[in-house]
Chains A and B, each alone.
Chain A
Amino acid sequence: AQSVAQPEDQVNVAEGNPLTVKCTYSVSGNPYLFWYVQYPNRGLQFLLKYITGDNLVKGSYGFEAEFNKSQTSFHLKKPSALVSDSALYFCAVRDTNAGKSTFGDGTTLTVKP
């Protein structure tokens, strides 16, 4: 079985400050991990993924995420937040033996000017 948790429903940061959106996961095999962003009334948009290799992965719009196997975490980060980063963020996990991904409940990020 696979599962993913996003412990924060909402994250608020000031523009220009660093942001972190948290994600932890549980899988029986090796994880494939993903972050997606959703703007209002739109579909989800792929940001970045971890499959294997370097624990720090970089993605679209200046976002990055760090895979931590011992803590089973894959937190999304950005050094300097923009107001336009305000959106709903979903973490997803896929076990290497699974045929589908499981999504977290989402975290609403609000960046204030």
Chain B
Amino acid sequence: DAMVIQNPRYQVTQFGKPVTLSCSQTLNHNVMYWYQQKSSQAPKLLFHYYDKDFNNEADTPDNFQSRRPNTSFCFLDIRSPGLGDAAMYLCATSYSSASSYEQYFGPGTRLTVT
């Protein structure tokens, strides 16, 4: 089945220790998103890729970066995690067309910072 896969599902890192979260998709969608979600709140968009074009949200901290080496994969790098970065990180994809735009989400990676 076509899907969005996130690894790992649970990640524990130490304060200030860099961490990378990964996302892959078999849907062949051209848009990929990274969201941060805390405590059942609304997902907060960090950035998204429209094909290879990177779009950063104005309030996304510089501590968060992303890479999309090809259509299928996208990575979220947190350079120096703080306690406030503990959250669920959601990857999503969509196909940009006039009749589409719905997003397909992965299961998420729950990040704990100790």
Footprint of B on A, CB under 8 Å? 32, 34, 36, 38, 41-46, 49, 51, 88, 90, 94, 99-101, 103-106, 108
Contacts and interface: CB of A to CB of B under 8 A. Distances in A.
Task: Decide if the interface of chain A is mainly helix, strand, loop or mixed.
Answer: strand
A36 B36 CA distance: 16
A75 to B, nearest CB: 18
Nearest to A42: B107
B101 A104 contact: no
28 contacts: A34-B101, A34-B103, A36-B105, A38-B40, A41-B108, A41-B110, A42-B107, A43-B4, A43-B108, A44-B90, A44-B92, A44-B103, A45-B105, A46-B102, A46-B103, A46-B104, A46-B105, A49-B101, A51-B98, A90-B43, A94-B101, A99-B50, A100-B45, A100-B48, A100-B55, A101-B103, A103-B42, A105-B41
Interface of B: 4, 6, 33, 40-43, 45, 48, 50, 55, 88, 90, 92, 98-99, 101-108, 110
Contacts, number: 57
Given A44-B103, A46-B103, A101-B101, A108 B108 contact: no
B105 to A, nearest CB: 3
Contact of B42 (A34, A41, A42, A105): A105
A43 B92 CA distance: 9
Contact of A99 (B4, B55, B106, B110): B55
